[in-house]
Amino acid sequence: MEILDNISLKPYNSFGIRASARYFTRVASVPELQEALAWAKREETPSLIIGGGSNILLRENYDGLVIKNELLGYEVLETGEDFVNVKVSAGEVWHQFVLHCLEHQYAGIENLALIPGCVGASPMQNIGAYGVEVRDVFHGLTAVHRYEGYTRTFTNEECAFGYRESVFKNVYRDQFVITDVTYRLRTNPVFHIEYGAIRQELERLRISELSIRAIARAVINIRSSKLPDPAVIGNAGSFFKNPVVDKEKYMLLKAAFPDLVAYENEDGSMKLAAGWLIEHAGLKGYRNGDAGVHEKQALVLVNYKDATGPEILEICKLVIDTVFKKYGVELYPEVNIV
């Protein structure tokens, strides 16, 4: 294991924030990961595991050990009449896994095409898009305890997935490092095209026969037209979660703002489109120096060139305060602030 000193993290975070790590290492196997964690424990220094760095905001230099996850590999664990269980190492790039599934005709994650980042982070916030979340296809995972070094497995139930939530973001926050995830995919597909934008795009593409490839293509087209590419403008996707309010609050808001966009949850609560709230509070395209609110998608905060973490956080605070003042609704960041 090689521990490097004072390494720039700019290439390792999709916001493109110029911050550095006091110590930095790469791990390509579980024993290497355990060794790195033991080193941090011995040195009494904090550790931060990163995959693609596409859901973090660095406030300042990281005064600890950054561990870049490079655990690679796929393994078919089990095949049944209509399913296959595929174990994927945490350092694999998520979209490459989607492409692997398309190639092998494994259905279930085609709606999640083009989400940046690595497989290891996919259960962290139960990634989701266009009507599908990973919990719909998640079978289990293996993780290493950060301080004790032992490995344990988690079932779907034990992960307690919710909207952009899992145990790894709350009760077990900073306790475990995920080393592999097993997905249960279907070999006879069930298509999810309820999301209006997908249907419209499939029509535009004149798709006559529905397939997982066609859905992935539609999703890729929609995402590419809406979301800024981190290679061009630094960002971490949606900066805030869509806020959930009860029916009563929703009715009051709807009366005051008839165009408000919202979706009903299974429990009757309403998920409000935060992008709509931010845009109609006048902040879409707002910019202060190199930090701003994206001009096409108000839920995405951006770094045009050289914004610092605190400058992005200033915009975050402005958005939260403005939205609260106008609608009485509290926004919470989705991005992990380090």
Active site residues: 164, 238, 334
The residue with tokens 């993780």 is 143
Q: What are phi and psi of 227, to 5 degrees?
A: -95, 140
Q: Reduced to 3 states, what is the DSSP secondary structure of residue 2?
A: coil
Rounded to the nearest whole angstrom, what is the least distance from the CB of residue 57 to ligand FAD in the complex?
9
Give the bridge partners for 107, in sequence order.
186
Cα dihedral across residues 314, 320, 325, 327: positive or negative: positive
Contacting positions for ligand FAD (CB under 6 A): 14, 48-56, 69, 90, 115-118, 120-122, 124-125, 127-129, 177-178, 227, 230, 235-237, 336
Which among ligand EPU, ligand FAD, none contacts residue 48 (Cβ within 5 to 8 A by kind)?
A: ligand FAD
Rounded to the nearest whole angstrom, what is the least distance from the CB of residue 197 to ligand EPU in the complex?
6
Residue 143 or residue 270: which is nearer to ligand FAD going by CB? 143
Torsion angle in degrees (nearest 10) through CA of 189, 190, 195, 198:
30
Q: Binding segment for ligand EPU among 15-23, 153-161, 170-178, 271-279 (CB under 6 A)?
A: 271-279
CA proximity to 241, closest of 157, 312, 320 = 320
Structure tokens at 280: 């109609």
Q: Binding segment for ligand EPU among 16-24, 37-45, 274-282, 325-333 (CB under 6 A)?
A: 274-282
Decide if 3 contacts 39 (C-beta within 8 A): yes
DSSP 230: T
Which among ligand FAD, ligand EPU, none contacts residue 243 (Cβ within 5 to 8 A by kind)?
A: none
Structure tokens at 34: 């355990």
Which among ligand EPU, ligand FAD, none contacts residue 121 (Cβ within 5 to 8 A by kind)?
A: ligand FAD
Structure tokens at 231: 């290679």
Residue 51 or residue 275: which is nearer to ligand FAD going by CB? 51
- Which stretches of the chain bind ligand EPU, using CB under 6 A? 129-130, 226, 237-238, 241-242, 261, 273, 275-276, 279, 284, 297-299, 334
